[in-house]
A and B are shown apart, each in its own frame.
Chain A
């Protein structure tokens, strides 16, 4: 008979978990594995709230298993290292993102593309090599294989840097892969939320011209004055969209709800690329004519591998890029989730785990 979450591992842990698709989170006792020879054990200081956490606790994608401890934008301080750990020592600051394991032997793993390994193990809601459930960063401590821990740059604030571990890599990777990362490129960013605002910052640091495309006219000033976007289009304003047709080399689409693709495809120059990184739970409608007539593509991208995630965070540190955050205490978690569902956050909640998560 399977052991309870509290008993299955030797090290006690606690956090907040969702227990059913209502998505309500509450205190939860569980346990972490012993610190193996290649493992790093750290106390969690901050954890960003990613929209995926909300999708997962409410089982919106249909594959959640409960109890579920979300959180994959985790920053902490190392308290113990295994005997064969080379990259970290006690006291170092580390980050953990969306992955905590992969097969290590396939072509993708060898190419530093652990995120495309067919056996990749997600930080929460997945089954680890030992057959037990993975629990994420809304918790007091974690044990992770050093390969999946990121060295946190010294000059980067821990709280504002945490969201980069998912939001950051999710936009950085496709910008690099699809060549939307150099001066002369005109990039559209659809959606100005957790992903979108980081995309604007990275793009400006790369010398890219950025137009934000949003359904909220109220975000214009923010986008242009504070985040540095070059232009702002309201997606429902037909005149604005028409005027911008055929002007963009690429579009990073961060919107995680079903939305029309036709106007976005129209905004692309020919050979343009629409890259989807938001994950709606239903298929989108793909009009074929404009794709064919303009030799355009629609593509997807999923986070990034460990090497690229480290590269991304070092790039962000060099260019002083962090997320814009609202720090909350763990007790505000459910309220924060409600606000996130309404898009009411600029632009990421980050839980101050270190100071506010106390065992009951």
Chain B
């Protein structure tokens, strides 16, 4: 008979879990595995609240395995290292993102693309190589294979840096892969939330001209004055949308609900690329004519491999890019989730785990 979560491993752990599709989180006792030769044991300091955490807590994608401890934007300090661990030592500040395992042998893993390995193990709601469930960062500690731990640059603050571990790589990776990094080119960022605001900052760091495309006129001042966007388009403003037709080289579409693609595709120049990174469960309507007549494309991208995630963190540290966050206590999490569902956050909640998670 399967052991209970708090007995299946030798080290006691404590966090907050959702137990059903209400998505309500509450205290949860479980356990973490023994620190193996390749492992690093991390005391968790902060964890970002990603929109995916909300989708999974409420089983919106249909594959949640309760109880689930979300959280894949984790910053902490190393407490213990296994005998084969080379990259880290006790006391160092590290990060853990969306994945904690892969097969390490396939073509994708060999190309540092662990995120495309068919046997990717996600930080939460997956099964580890030993068959047990993975639990995420809304918890006091985590044991992770060194390959999936990131060095946290000294000058990157923990709170503002934590969301980069998912939001940051989610926009950085397609920007690199689809060639959206030539200074002077014009990037559109659709949606100004957790992903979108980081995309604006990274876009500016690449020297791009950045236009935010949003359904909320109220976000304009913020986008331009604080985030540094060059311009702002409200999707319902027909005159301005028309004037912007065929002006963008690329668009990162971060909108996490079904929305019309036609207006966005029309904003692209010839050979323009729209990359969608928002995950939602219903299909989008894809009008063919704009693709065919303008040789445009719609692409997807999923986070990034470990090497690229480290590269992204170092890039952000160098250019002073951090997420804009609202730090919360663990017991505020359910309210935070409700506010997140209404997009009422600028722009990421980050849980101060170390200070507020108490048994």
Interface residues of A (CB under 8 A from B): 108, 113, 116, 177, 261-262, 270, 273, 276-280, 283-302
Contact = CB atoms under 8 A, between A and B. Distances in A.
Closest 6 CB pairs of A and B: A300-B291, A291-B300, A299-B297, A300-B292, A292-B300, A286-B286
Contacts of B289: 279, 300
Given A270-B108, A295-B116, A298-B297, A288 B283 contact: yes
Contacts of A296: 299-300
B95 interface: no
B301 A292 contact: yes
Nearest to A301: B295
Contacts of A298: 286, 291, 297-299
B292 A297 contact: no
A277 B292 CA distance: 6
Given A270-B108, A286-B286, A299 B302 contact: no
A302 B298 contact: no
Nearest to A262: B283
B177 interface: yes
Nearest to A302: B292
Given A288-B280, A292-B276, A297 B298 contact: yes
A300 B279 CA distance: 23
A284 B270 CA distance: 21
Contacts of B270: 108, 113, 116
Nearest to B292: A300
Contacts of A283: 262, 285-288
Contacts of A299: 291, 295-298
Nearest to B303: A292
B292 A293 contact: no
A89 B286 CA distance: 46
A274 to B, nearest CB: 9
B278 interface: yes
B198 interface: no
B81 interface: no
B294 A293 contact: no
B288 A300 contact: yes
Nearest to B246: A118
Nearest to A107: B270
A285 B116 contact: no
A296 B273 CA distance: 12
Given A298-B291, A301-B292, A289 B298 contact: no
B293 interface: yes
Nearest to A173: B295
Contacts of B301: 292, 295
Contacts of B279: 288-289, 292
B277 interface: yes
Q: Is the interface of A mostly helix, strand, loop or mixed?
A: mixed
B90 interface: no
B300 A293 contact: yes
B284 interface: yes
Contacts of A297: 297-300
Nearest to A299: B297
B278 A288 contact: yes
**Listed residue (A177, A276, A290) with the most chain B CB atoms within 10 angstroms of its CB:** A276
Contacts of B295: 116, 177, 299-302
Given A286-B261, A292-B302, 10 more contacts: A113-B270, A261-B286, A270-B116, A283-B262, A286-B283, A288-B283, A295-B174, A296-B300, A300-B290, A302-B295
Q: Of B108, B116, B288, B290, which is in contact with the most chain A CB atoms at under 10 Å from its CB?
A: B288
Nearest to B253: A288
Interface string B257-271: 000011000000010
Contact of A286 (B177, B284, B296): B284
A195 to B, nearest CB: 12
Most buried by A among B108, B280, B300, B302: B300
B285 A286 contact: yes
Contacts of A276: 288, 291-292
22 contacts: A113-B270, A261-B286, A283-B262, A283-B288, A286-B285, A286-B286, A287-B283, A288-B280, A289-B281, A292-B277, A292-B302, A293-B116, A293-B300, A294-B300, A297-B298, A298-B291, A298-B299, A299-B296, A299-B298, A300-B288, A300-B295, A302-B292
Contacts of A292: 276-277, 279, 300-302
Among A262, A280, A284, A300, residue most surrounded by chain B Cβ atoms (within 10 Å):
A300
A284 B277 CA distance: 19
A120 to B, nearest CB: 10
A277 B295 CA distance: 10
